[in-house]
Amino acid sequence: MAERTVRIASAHGLHARPASLFTQAVARAGMPVEIGKGEKAVNAASILGVISLGIDKDDEVRLSADGENAEAVLDELVGLLTTDHDA
C-alpha cells in the first residue's frame, strides 16, 4: 500500500469543480484509493464522499492506494491536489 500526505492548494478547498477533477482522475486509475481528513476516510472516487470531508485550503489530507503502479497514481493525484484550480 502506498500513502501520501498532501496540503490542499485550491483557494476554496475541494469544492465541486476541483473535487470532480480529483474523483475523475481516481476513477481513471482503476484501483482503490482512499482520501482522509482527521479520523474520517472515504473512497476517493466518490465525489459525495470527498465533498463530505469538508476539505479547505491548506488542510492536510491522507491518500492511500493499493495496486500495481500505486506510487505513480498517487504522484498524479498529489499533483492535482497541490494545484490551485480556483486561480
Every domain of the chain and the residues it spans: 2-81
pLDDT of residue 87 exceeding 80? no
Tell me the whole-structure pTM to 2 decimals: 0.94
Q: Quick one: cell of 35?
A: 482520501
In this model, does residue 9 exceed pLDDT 80? yes
Q: How many helices (H) and strands (E) does the chain have?
A: 3, 4
Q: What is the distance between the alpha carbons of residues 10 and 2, in angstroms, rounded to a whole number?
A: 24
Give the SS3 label for residue 54.
coil
If one looks up domain 2-81 in CATH, what number appears? 3.30.1340.10
Q: Kindly indicate the confidence band of residue 60, based on its pLDDT and cuts at 50, 70 and 90.
A: very high
- Which phi and psi angles does 60 have, rounded to 5°? -95, 135
Q: What is the pLDDT of residue 74?
A: 98
Average pLDDT over residues 21-45: 97
Q: Which residues are catalytic?
A: 15
